[in-house]
Structures are given as structure tokens and as C-alpha cells.
Amino acid sequence: MYLFILGNMKKYLFSVIILIVLSQFATAQEDYRIGIKVGPSYSLSRTSSDGNSTDIGRDGTAVKFLIGAFIDLPFKENYHLHTGITFASKATRISITDPAVLAGQKISERYDHEYLQLPVLLKLYTNEVILDTKVFFNFGIVPEIRLNTNNETPGNNFVSEFRALDLSGNFGGGLERSIGVNTRVYAGINYYIGFLDQVKTQNPIYDDFKVKSNLFSLEFGIKF
């Protein structure tokens, strides 16, 4: 319990430090917005195998969540740089079959991950579509640092170790509404597509395989 509390305190302290640094950078801008966001997400994996014997596939999905802080930095009318820090939970649900292992019996593994995301996005706004309301679109890259992984099936071991880093592409959009002089709220949908193989080392009895992440999120935020 002590280690769990200490680990979470370190995460929150790191978040505060990053947010302070971003805030100091943002003070050089004429008009910036700092905000927080939260929302549910839908996590699933993409799989492939390089051989002819091993068959690997997705074995379910999971509902997860994300929470974060961000800064929007305008650099041109209706153009913003969006960055910040986000804690995102993900899941890896995969199954594997191989005629040479357990007579081809299907084996499943389930992992839960915690990632620290550092998005670098371009955010584009339309003019007002209705009073005080704009549509926005965003895209960019999201470097990710894996903080922790929990193996829900410890008896199986066709994935030996996951990589510490990932890189995702982001595509999304939503609606943003002004509710005061300096306060805005928004709702958006985002898709994160992992570019890198999550598997660092695997059980060598199987053909080489790859596992990449997909994440869909419904995000709600407020900024000031």
C-alpha cells in the first residue's frame, strides 16, 4: 500500500512540475488558455505475425479513462498549438495459437497499462457556427511513456516485456463553447493510432509478432 501511494504521489508531482513549466512558457504568449480534460476511452490492439505457424489476434477490448492538463497556444487566428500532459490507461487483449505449442490450443493474455502522454497537436477552429460556439479539428503526434503494466494472466508468457516508449498519431475534433469572458468548455472525440510495436521481447518458441495500440476517447474539458 505504501509503495502504491508513493508511486501515485510521484506521478502527481511530476504532472504539477510539467504544468508549471508549460505555464511559464505560456506567459510569453499574448493569449493562451490552460485547462483540464477527462473522459472515457475504448482500448483495443492491432496484431500481426511474421511467420506461418503462429496466429495472433485481438482477444477483446476494454473501456478505460484518461485525465490531463493542457495549454492552448495561439499563433495565428483560429490556429493553436495544443500540448500538455495526460495520464491514459490502455489495455492489451490478445490471443495466440500455434500447432507446435499445446497442440494448437488457444492461449490468451490480458494486460492493463498506464501511460503518460505528451501530445503535440495542431488545433484548427472554424468561425462561430452558432452564438459563442465553434467547431475544432486537431491532429498531431503523441509521445507516450509507459509507467506501469499489470499482467492479469501471469501464468501465460508469450509477451515477456513491453517497450517503455510508444508514439501515436492523433486525429479528432469537437465543439467548443464560451460560457464566460475567459472560460470555455468543450467536448471532442479523438482517435490515437499507435505507430510502434509494443512488444520488446517475446517467447522465442513463437514466430515473431507485433502488437500495436488503438485508442478512441470521448473527452470533456474546460479551459480558462
pLDDT in tens, 121-165: 999 999 999 999 999 999 999 999 999 999 998 776 889 999 999
pLDDT on residue 75: 92
pLDDT on residue 3: 41
Amino acid at 109: E
Going by C-beta distance under 8 Å and a sequence separation of 6 or more, which residues neighbour residue 126? Answer: 78, 134, 135, 136
Tell me how far apart the alpha carbons of residues 147 and 10 are, in angstroms, rounded to a whole number: 11
Which residues of the chain register pLDDT less than 70?
1-30, 156
pLDDT on residue 119: 98
pLDDT on residue 2: 41
pLDDT on residue 112: 97
Q: Which pTM was predicted?
A: 0.86
Q: Class of the 2-223 domain?
A: mainly beta
pLDDT on residue 218: 98
Domain assignments of the chain as residue spans, ordered by start: 2-223
Q: How many CB atoms lie within 10 A of CB 160?
A: 11
